[in-house]
Amino acid sequence: MVSVIIPTFNACGNIRKLITALKEDAPEGTEIIVIDSSSTDGTAMAARGLGARVEVIPREKFDHGGTRTLAGKSARGDFLVYLTQDVIPAGPGTLGNLLKPFGEDETIGAVYGRQLPNPDATVFAAHLRFFNYPPQSSVKRLNDRAVYGIKTAFLSNSFTAYRKSALEAVGWFGQKLICSEDLHAGAKLLLAGYKLSYQADAAVFHSHNYTAFEEAGRYFDIGVLHSREEWILKEFGGAGGEGQRYIKSGLRYLARNRKYHLAPRFIFISALKYLFYNLGRVHEKLPAFAVRRLSRNRQWWAENA
């Protein structure tokens, strides 16, 4: 059995489209669980009206890892598909394709699918999706960390399926993490002997048109995570030259799309992200007001400063 888990907050505009698409495409017997952070726009009512099992939690109790663990433990499925509220399946067979590797290899602990840019995506947002989610499927093992570094453990809970028994074996998602509970879980799965699969023929539309400073704020939070969860870098190392590959790929992408004039802005944003990441790594040395200004997840600091 499969359980689809969707954390929501004021998602009424998209949740109807998402659940409708899932019900048309999901394997028979799939349950849909919505765990809602006390939305004020009727999200919970809309989800219930479409047959989802809905649990409402106080807004201030939402935790990236803890909330997903709460829903996963209550799920009936042997396989747990985590989505964010703003994705839309790209076509029929999406969930079936995502789940296929589990039947082919019992050592697969998690499978993440391809994320395609939304039709309104900026050139920067589109390139990021094409860079992180190529058209070729792959499987990563712990030994691959020598090549890919921390990227070996990459997963995205916007569109990832987990073998429930594997998540249970590694203690579920980490709690009180500022971000990247998915990568955190991926690292634990690899260290426990599981493999991570990327399934390119399972795709959703999902992208964000962040401003330069919104994007940089995300990298500040990643730096905070790496500072507080030092074992990840000790076990997997850094990004293995991923930053340089990203910049080269971005410049080629701009050239192919005849967007040469955007190259200086792309380089500026990349440098800003690098700066903010390193500031996140040393956040404990920064004034509290600066940390909150730099972070993308300011609410987190109220609970975890």
Mean pLDDT of the chain: 96
Q: Which two tokens stand for residue 217?
A: 């704020």
Tell me the mean pLDDT in the region 4-29. 94
Tell me the mean pLDDT in the region 127-151. 96
Is the pLDDT at 305 greater than 70? The verdict is no
CA separation for the pair 200, 113 (Å, rounded): 6
Percent of the chain scoring above 90 in pLDDT: 92
Q: Which residues contact 222 (CB under 8 A, 6 or more apart)?
A: 179, 180, 277, 280
Q: Which two tokens stand for residue 87?
A: 């994705």
R_g of the chain computed on alpha carbons: 19
| Each residue's pLDDT tens digit, 65-108 | 999 999 999 999 999 999 999 999 999 999 999 999 999 999 99
- Encode burial over 26-46: b for 16+ CB neighbours within 10 A, e otherwise: beeebbbbbbbbebeeebbeb
Write down all domains in the chain, each with its CATH number in brackets: 2-205 (3.90.550.10), 212-298 (no CATH)
Q: What is the pLDDT of residue 207?
A: 97
Q: Which residues contact 272 (CB under 8 A, 6 or more apart)?
A: 212, 213, 215, 216
Contact predicate 168/73, CB 8 Å: no
Is the pLDDT at 184 greater than 70? The verdict is yes
| Each residue's pLDDT tens digit, 103-129 | 999 999 999 999 999 999 999 999 999
| Each residue's pLDDT tens digit, 267-292 | 999 999 999 999 999 999 999 999 99
Phi and psi (nearest 5°) for 11?
-115, 20
CA separation for the pair 232, 279 (Å, rounded): 18
Q: What is the pLDDT of residue 55?
A: 96
Residue with tokens 């200004």: 293
| Each residue's pLDDT tens digit, 190-200 | 999 999 999 99
Is the pLDDT at 240 greater than 80? The verdict is no
Q: Are strands 159-163 and 195-205 parallel, antiparallel or unpaired?
A: unpaired
